Amino acid sequence: METSVVLVTGASAGIGRASADLLASRGWRVVGASRRATGGTGWEGLRMDVDDDDSVRQGVESAIGRFGRLDAVVAAAGFGVAGPVEHTTMDDARAQFETNFFGVTRVVQASLSHLRESAGRIVIIGSIGGTLGLPFQAFYSASKFALEGYAEALGYEVGPFGVEVTVVEPGNIRTEFTAQRHFVESPESNPYAAATAKAMGTMERDEQHGAPPSTVAETVARVLEADHPPRRISVGKLDERVGVVAKRLLPYRLFERAARGSLGL
* 14 in a structural domain: yes
Handedness of CA 167, 91, 173, 249 (dihedral sign): negative
Q: Is residue 131 part of a domain?
A: yes
Q: Count structural domains, the chain.
A: 1
pLDDT, averaged per 10 consecutive residues of the chain (265 residues), comes to 88 97 97 95 95 98 95 98 98 98 98 97 97 96 98 98 98 94 95 95 94 97 97 89 84 88 84
Indicate if 140 belongs to the active site. yes
Question: pTM for the whole thing?
Answer: 0.94
**Spatial distance between the Cα atoms of 45 and 39, rounded to a whole number of angstroms:** 4
In a domain, 251, yes or no: no
Q: How far is CA 262 from CA 64, 154, 199, 223, 256, in A?
A: 47, 34, 9, 31, 10
Q: What does the pLDDT read at residue 63?
A: 95
CA–CA gap between residue 70 and residue 158 (Å, rounded): 15
Does 254 reside within a domain? no
The pLDDT of residue 100 is 98
Q: What is the CATH number of the domain that holds 206?
A: 3.40.50.720
So what's the pLDDT on residue 1?
Answer: 44
Residue 265 resides in a domain: no
Neighbours of 204 (CB within 10 A): 16
The burial class, CB within 10 Å (0-12 / 13-18 / 19+), for 245 is exposed
List 140, 150, 192, 252, catalytic entry = 140
Cβ contact 92:137 at 8 Å: no
Does some domain include residue 113? yes
Q: Is 260 within a domain?
A: no
What pLDDT is stored for residue 79 in this prediction? Answer: 97
Check residue 84 and give its pLDDT. 98
Q: Domain residues for 123? A: 5-240
